[in-house]
């Protein structure tokens, strides 16, 4: 079966999206957890216009608002031009256009004014449309600004190293804001392609239990650790087997932002190429000569090789 070619024009969202798109995406799930799979057969995004306007990027949102504002003024300018001399001192389309801008913005300099019944009706309609448009735009702006978000930094890679004699999967997170995320909880799932006994390809989800999956106060840095014991879904796997199974590690963090008092969440995904074996993270908590402790985010993604005499290799099948 041939591969379906991706359309260059993917609706309004595709037209407004200026981000470069790879010709052949390699990741099923992006680093931030967004699914990189095209959905076919679903209703258009315009059928859920409110959600669409809340989820598009800020450049897309500003572009739509600007386009709608300019289009509305151009439309009313054409209506004003349908009747000659409807607007005093308006001799061209651009005069009518800027009169529309003044009307919809309730500015009214007084140089141009409606002088026929037809023009006054249009001014009344345009003023109502302008008030409704301003209300909707203000509500959307407030809704977009008021959405609580978490700024959580995930390590660029995960590592598999030995901890207390057990092969352990590790990655770390950091709160990038100068506040706390209360009652933070982390969950890790392994997505793996498997063939059932009947020969069907299935996408399976396996939960990976962590040594510590909750934190009352997530303020600075947090290293999540999953011991790869005999009961671990990762037990017996190698880097090659994870690649063959198109494995993905999905990480989700949920907590309460102390500033907003609302639930925030963050997510991240690791593919097998982003899991480093026989490595461990360098320490980010340091102390200067004066005894002041500090956290160096410049070292947050750095890893180093452990001493082979103290840490046996974990490049083979992961077994305890």
pLDDT digits (tens, 9 = 90+) for 205-218: 999 999 999 999 99
For 280, the token pair is 């461990």
* Residue 118, H or E segment: helix 117-146
CA 294/CA 180 separation, integer angstroms = 17
CA 150/CA 255 separation, integer angstroms = 9
What per-residue confidence (pLDDT) applies to 243?
87
For 37, the token pair is 């799979």
Residue carrying the six token digits 């590690």: 249
pLDDT tier for residue 15 given thresholds of 50, 70 and 90: very low
Residue carrying the six token digits 């999956």: 213
What per-residue confidence (pLDDT) applies to 203?
84
Q: List the domains of the chain with CATH numbers.
A: 8-147 (1.10.287.70), 152-304 (2.60.40.1400)
What per-residue confidence (pLDDT) applies to 320?
47
| Contact indicator for 172, 220 with CB cutoff of 8 Å | no
Computed over every residue of the chain, the mean pLDDT equals 84
pLDDT digits (tens, 9 = 90+) for 74-90: 999 999 999 998 999 99
Asked if the model's pLDDT at residue 142 lies above 80, the reply is yes
pLDDT digits (tens, 9 = 90+) for 100-129: 999 998 887 888 999 999 999 999 999 999
What per-residue confidence (pLDDT) applies to 307?
63
Closest CA to 167 of 224, 234, 245, 223: 234
Chain-centroid distance, C-alpha 202: 27
pLDDT digits (tens, 9 = 90+) for 260-298: 888 999 999 999 999 998 898 999 888 888 888 888 889
Helix axes 93-104, 58-81, angle to 10 degrees: 120
Burial of 73 (C-beta count, 10 Å sphere; 0-12/13-18/19+) = buried
Closest CA to 216 of 167, 258, 178: 258
The sign one gets for the Cα dihedral 137, 142, 147, 152 is positive
CA 209/CA 100 separation, integer angstroms = 62
Q: For the ranges 114-123, 247-256, 258-267, 310-319, which has the lowest average pLDDT?
A: 310-319
């Amino acid at each position: 079966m041939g591969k379906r070619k991706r359309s260059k024009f993917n609706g309004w969202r595709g037209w407004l999206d200026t981000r470069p798109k790879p010709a052949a995406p390699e990741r099923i799930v992006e680093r931030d957890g967004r699914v990189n799979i095209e959905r076919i057969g679903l209703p258009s995004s315009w059928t859920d216009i409110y959600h669409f306007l809340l989820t598009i990027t800020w450049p897309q949102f500003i572009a739509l608002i600007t386009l709608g504002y300019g289009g509305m003024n151009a439309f009313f300018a054409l209506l004003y031009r349908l009747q000659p001399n409807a607007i005093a001192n308006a001799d061209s389309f651009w005069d009518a256009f800027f009169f529309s801008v003044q009307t919809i913005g309730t500015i009214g300099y007084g140089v141009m004014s409606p002088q026929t019944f037809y023009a006054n009706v249009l001014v009344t309609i345009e003023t109502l449309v302008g008030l409704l448009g301003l209300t909707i735009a203000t509500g959307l702006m407030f809704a977009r600004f008021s959405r609580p978000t978490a700024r959580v930094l995930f390590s660029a890679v995960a590592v598999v190293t030995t901890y207390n004699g057990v092969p352990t999967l590790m990655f770390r997170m950091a709160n990038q804001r100068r506040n706390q995320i209360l009652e933070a909880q982390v969950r890790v799932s392994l997505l793996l392609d498997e063939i059932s006994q009947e020969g069907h390809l299935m996408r399976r989800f396996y939960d990976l239990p962590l040594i510590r999956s909750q934190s009352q106060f997530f303020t600075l840095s947090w290293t999540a650790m999953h011991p790869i014991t005999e009961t671990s879904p990762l037990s017996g796997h190698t880097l090659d087997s994870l690649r063959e199974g198109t494995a993905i590690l999905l990480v989700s963090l949920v907590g309460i932002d102390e500033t907003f008092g609302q639930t925030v969440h963050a997510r991240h995904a690791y593919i097998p190429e982003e899991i480093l074996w026989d490595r461990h993270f360098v320490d980010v908590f340091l102390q200067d000569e004066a005894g002041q402790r500090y956290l160096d985010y410049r070292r947050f993604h750095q890893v180093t090789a452990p001493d082979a005499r103290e840490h046996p290799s974990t490049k083979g099948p992961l077994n305890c």
